[in-house]
Structure 1
């Protein structure tokens, strides 16, 4: 016999959502929208001996009498219509019977079909899960400490479903997992603290756990039932993503068998729409949990997820307030002190207070200042040279510096982690923070480097280990991760430093000379655009319109000409915006008191109509007056508010809030939405010309608007910064000096 051709590298590619089989403790019938049976599992006769040999091509109504003998005619169509109108979670499960035995019917839409899944309406547990769930939730949430919450959750889930072992399994950024809490039978060894490689639960499986919040494998030793389909020439695989009975990957079945596990059940833990971890349950004998009990377990997972999110958000809020206080203090010091570097390093609040680092270094105006524990001067200069040659981003961070810069191995004890702000690449000005090496001994459940083993019968064991004996690995050259709040704090600090430099630098700084040269080049570029590009674009558009008058033109050619017209219009719009961008710096400000409320109210009314955004809730708070150029300030608010509406309109409950605060020396406006959000790695480049975020899809825009906004704000001696979280929304803050 040839060894099975499988290894762990196959795990990430396995199409587990289209296995072509279902678990055999239930059966599946798939109908199309008119109600005709197009697929079914091949085990129907095991549950309904009287069913015809073939029901493919038959209407579901002909099968209904065998499914529920006491059900009204056409009850499945009624269930589907109710589910479409109110959500299938309101119909599932439907209690029915098969040959006098109670069954659950679960209806799920997939592709152009409906899955009708039938499972026994009983569990292998005598526990009344639904009756006990209220008390269990109270026990879980009794302690505010996150670790105690996880410990309590594992204990309560074990009490509810009676599995031999219940673990809270947390995913790391690289996909590998760790058992962070556990409740088990006394005769079992503990797995608490063990790590499992990412290949154990590959990416596509983790993606499915975000869609299906529970997953039952009742018995690893049963053969799955194949799905048979109507022979109509269509070979498109049936997508079983929403299925409860979806068969299990053979790789995962072998993995569980290697662990001596006969049944498994998992509950997803979600944090901010991403998979935080699993409540992973193992039993060493087969065990079935009915759908209602699984739904109760899903509720537990959702409540634990909410508690996790609350605890983590609370912790993030404390960090955010601490870092923000430090950045605000440094901002005031920079505007007050003559020396920027002294303001950042010589007071009780320093660069070190803006993040959690062990040391910091500031390269500024040909000087070097150090705080805390850092590499020595020569090592810092070598590091600065490496950054200049290799780092393209204005903000860069890593927690494995020795892995990317080999020379840093010599000082990994103080600088295994690096975060750097590039203030000026040309002048060699940087802010660096360092985190020390954090030696870790990771205990794996077996050697993660061992993908497969050939057994005595020539088969490959699809597991990174066969004995699951503990295997320790010491991780070196790694620091604690830089968390999201630290990254946001660094970005905001850079904005404050830039603002302070612009206020104090004057004509003596090389950067201003370079900017002056750049503006002159931009003027030349703008002139070229206006005179050398606009005319050819107009000609292209005119010729396209002339060709469209030809009545013999084929439809496909007309569509192509329409696209030429649209492209010409888009290019013309981009040219106009570039011209506007270049004009701002040459335009004189016409300063006057501005009634911002009137401007904002008019803009909101117009933008709701323009974007058909009647469903968007727009909250306008305090709107203190500011001093500025009315036309330019209107342009600022128009751009930011239109972005907020445009990028939040597809949210479930779109909301935009606008409010201003006058603290005596400046007026700060905040415009917040709950839309797409911006990846934290892209925040430093948000105001660059032609920069659009990766997640905007087909939402219109040229990437020039925010660059224009930043120019206008800086021309008013103001400052603008952004705080955002992917999938959660964005806040733009604009401060105007009084």
Structure 2
């Protein structure tokens, strides 16, 4: 019979959270909100003697005396009630006695149902993991070097749980993994440094590792137990995302068998909410670790995750602090010197110091200045032409230029990676940084491009690499990746250069006439919006309100009319904000001394009431005076403070820090929050009209506010920029020149 060829990319779509079966070393009973049994594993009768032949549909209370001989009546219901209030981590595991054998009961949710999983208490471990864990963690964290930290971790975990091989397996950005630390029995060959393709641990498996921080496969040679249900639930596969006993994908079981592994255990390592890697443990004979031991091992993973994050953050902060200091110096040089070009390329600090690059160029005012290692003049001219024709973003970077621009292959040893700031596309003015090719030899555990093999009858069979012999591949044409800190620094420099150019020129040099024309068109557009759009909206709103008075309308129709009203109000708001955006561009400023401290304090009081945030914490530092239009400056801080509060509301303790600092040239205010933050890739567009970030679509807003703020700040010859980290919060900086 012909078999359909199977590719390991099938793994990415395999529904591993609903396998329809569990590992057979324990058993599962699922109950609904009324405590009635809706699913159970087929092997229940092998564990529970004397229970009814048919369990589906009966109450869990009917068999409580069997599954908890020494427990009080209704103990399952009491555990669930306690867990719903305090979390099931406070009840798990519940130690009970089943017909003379000790079992752990683990309770978790599956939609509106509850999973009751029963595992033996008896473990294969010969040591008390809870007694050993404190000393092991202390020794694990003894060194600040990340490599030593990882090596210590594998040694300590192996000592505690006694598996034959313990590895730290780190995921790359493309999903493939590498063994970066290892402790093993002496008779085993080393896997340190080996790489494994992303298909070995597919995407949806990596997502589950973020939810289930430990995962045990006790014995790959046992037959899993099917999950039974009534016809009523047969078409609703049971979600086992939170299950401890969840069966393993047949593909993964075959993969482990091919490796000779009989039992595996993994501990997730999380960095900033994402899966950084795994502590992967392999045993070459079956091995069962009970729930308490797994939970203790999970603590090792959580502490290592925190240590990794702390050490990486330390390195990131050091790099960002160094780059920020260089950008600050460049900013002052640009404002003091007569020539932007000299300030960026001829001083003690240059644009090459703004990022970790080996070369850079400034194309400005029909002149190209090169720093460090760069392509030759002809290659640069062709590269600039390619950038002008193919790069639409004003901020762009890649670490694989030869892949997308074939002509760059000739100088990939200099520029496999580029980062580009567009100063003026019309004038072909750019800042470009270069990173050289980083040739890397990757040793794979078997050929990653050979996911299936021929059977003896000529048919294709799934074989997740029966051979794991080292297979080397040289990766060329790529540079080391641009770090987030480099991206932030380059974006900051972009704002500083733009500001300095505007200050030197007094206007955008060759675009004056076009800007005048744009302002005239904007006036016409504003008039069209206010008359040709707002009037029909008022009519729509009027008709909708009139229709709602009809008592014969169905509730669903009335709800639709209410939604129409709401959308009309939102459209009116957006129109008014666009008109405000237009008005600011035409309005003249008569600067006066503005007491920003009083304005900010009053706004915070009003916003606390408006957002009803009793738990909001505001830290207000120095508030030096600034010069400008009081109404416009009030708009700036009202918008920034409102955003800081609005996007921090979901935090248990929303906290806002506001502080102003001044030096001999500038006054700079920072508004810092601990809210949702902004993804690094979206930072360059944050001040554009109608741009809203993907992670705040559920929060009310139009995407115009920050565009208005930027326009006001630039109207005051100031500058605005942002530093943000997804999930950690944002800091907006607003800077004004001192004096009138």
Instruction: State the TM-score, normalizing by the size of structure 2.
Output: 0.98
Maintained 8 Å contact 2:38/2:233: no
Do 1:219 and 1:287's aligned partners in 2 also have CA atoms closer than 8 Å? yes
Residue number in structure 2 paired with 1:198: 198
Quote the Cα distance in structure 1 between the aligned partners of 2:273 and 2:221.
34
**Residues 166-175 or 447-456, more deviating:** 447-456
Distance of 1:298 and 1:457 partners within structure 2 = 46
RMSD: 1.4
Question: Are 1:51 and 2:47 counterparts?
Answer: no
Query: 1:69 is matched with which residue?
Result: 69
Q: Distance in 1 between matches of 2:529 and 2:469?
A: 69
Alignment map for 1:698-713 (pairs within 5 Å): 698-713=698-713
Distance 1:594 1:396, change over 3 A: same
Cα shift at 1:99: 1.3
Worse-superposed segment, 309-318 or 501-510: 501-510
Could you say which residue in structure 1 is the equivalent of 2:506? Answer: 506
Which segment drifts farther, 699-708 or 226-235?
Answer: 226-235
What is the alpha-carbon distance in structure 1 between the residues aligned to residue 93 and residue 457 of structure 2?
Answer: 44
Query: Match of 1:649?
Result: 649
Q: For residues 514 and 677 of structure 2, what CA distance do their matches in structure 1 show?
A: 33
Q: Out of 294-303 and 578-587, give the one that drifted further.
A: 578-587
- Tell me what 1:688 maps to: 688
Judging changes above 3 Å, is the alpha-carbon distance between structure 1 residues 680 and 368 closer, same or farther for their aligned structure 2 residues?
same
Separation in structure 1 between the aligned mates of residue 545 and residue 655 of structure 2, nearest angstrom: 41
What CA deviation, in whole Å up to 9, does each residue of 1:663-721 have, x standing for no partner?
A: 34322111111211111111111111111111112211111100000011111121110
1:365 matched to 2:378? The reply is: no
2:153 aligns to what?
A: 153
Cα gap change, 1:121 to 1:457, in 2 (>3 Å): farther
Taking the TM superposition and a 5 Å limit, the aligned residue runs for 1:366-381 are 366-381=366-381
Tell me if 1:140 matches 2:132: no
Q: Following TM superposition, by how much is the alpha carbon of 1:632 offset from its aligned partner in structure 2, in angstroms?
A: 0.9
Distance 1:126 1:460, change over 3 A: farther
Judge conservation of contact 1:165–1:184 (CA < 8 Å) in 2: yes
Compute the displacement of 1:256 (Å).
Answer: 0.5
Distance 1:463 1:417, change over 3 A: farther
Report whether the alignment pairs 1:541 with 2:541. yes
Q: Which aligned segments of 4 or more residues in structure 1 are displaced greater than 6 angstroms? A: none
Cα drift, residue 234 of structure 1? 6.0
Contact 1:544–1:564 (Cα < 8 Å) also in 2: yes
Q: Distance in 1 between matches of 2:503 and 2:189?
A: 65
Contact 1:67–1:98 (Cα < 8 Å) also in 2:
yes
Q: State yes or no: 1:182 paired with 2:176.
A: no
Aligned counterparts, 1:421-570, within 5 A: 421-456=421-456, 461-507=461-507, 509-570=509-570
After superposition, give the CA deviation of every residue in 1:99-143 in whole Å (9 maximum; x if it has no partner).
111111111012011111110112111011100001100110000
**Partner residue, 1:606:** 606
CA shift at 1:648, angstroms?
Answer: 1.4
Partner of 1:248: 248
Partner of 1:17: 17
The 8 Å contact of residues 640 and 671 in structure 1, kept in 2 or not, is answered as yes
1:166/1:183 contact within 8 Å kept:
yes
Instruction: State how many pairs are aligned.
Output: 738
Q: Does the 8 Å contact 2:574/2:702 carry over to 1?
A: yes
Is 1:640 aligned to 2:640, yes or no? Answer: yes
Aligned to 1:407: 407
Counterpart CA distance in 2 for 1:579 and 1:183 is: 66
Residue 696 of structure 2 aligns to a residue whose secondary structure is coil
Q: 1:324 to 1:333 in 2, by over 3 A?
A: same
Tell me which moved more, 563-572 or 303-312. 563-572
Q: CA deviation at 1:464?
A: 4.3
Once residues 134 and 508 of structure 2 are traced to their aligned partners in structure 1, the CA distance between those partners, rounded to angstroms, is 70
Partner Cα distance (2:333, 2:464) in 1: 56
Q: Is the 8 A contact 1:722 1:731 kept in 2?
A: yes
User: CA separation in 1, counterparts of 2:172 and 2:232?
Assistant: 46
Kept in 2, the 8 Å contact 1:23–1:224? The answer is yes
Inter-CA distance 500–463: structure 2 relative to 1 (3 Å threshold): farther
Counterpart position of 1:103: 103
CA offset at residue 230 of structure 1? 2.5
Contact 1:446 1:464 in 2 (8 A): no
Cα distance in 2 for residues equivalent to 1:279 and 1:217: 14
Structure 2: distance between partners of 1:507 and 1:185 = 71
Distance in 2 separating the partners of 1:92 and 1:463: 38
SS of residue paired to 1:585: helix
Structure-2 change in CA distance of 1:661 and 1:564 (3 Å)? same
Q: CA deviation at 1:25?
A: 0.4
Deviates more, 1:470-479 or 1:54-63: 54-63
Q: Shift in Å at residue 459 of structure 1? A: 7.2
Structure 1 contact 363–431 (Cα < 8 Å) conserved: yes
The alpha-carbon deviation at position 281 of structure 1 amounts to 0.5
Residues 255 and 465, structure 2, Cα contact 8 Å, conserved in 1: no
TM-score by length of 1: 0.98
Indicate if the aligned counterparts of 2:20 and 2:237 stay in contact, CA closer than 8 A.
Answer: yes
Counterpart for residue 39 of structure 1: 39
> Is 1:669 matched up with 2:669?
yes
- Separation (CA, whole Å) in 2 of partners of 1:136 and 1:622: 47
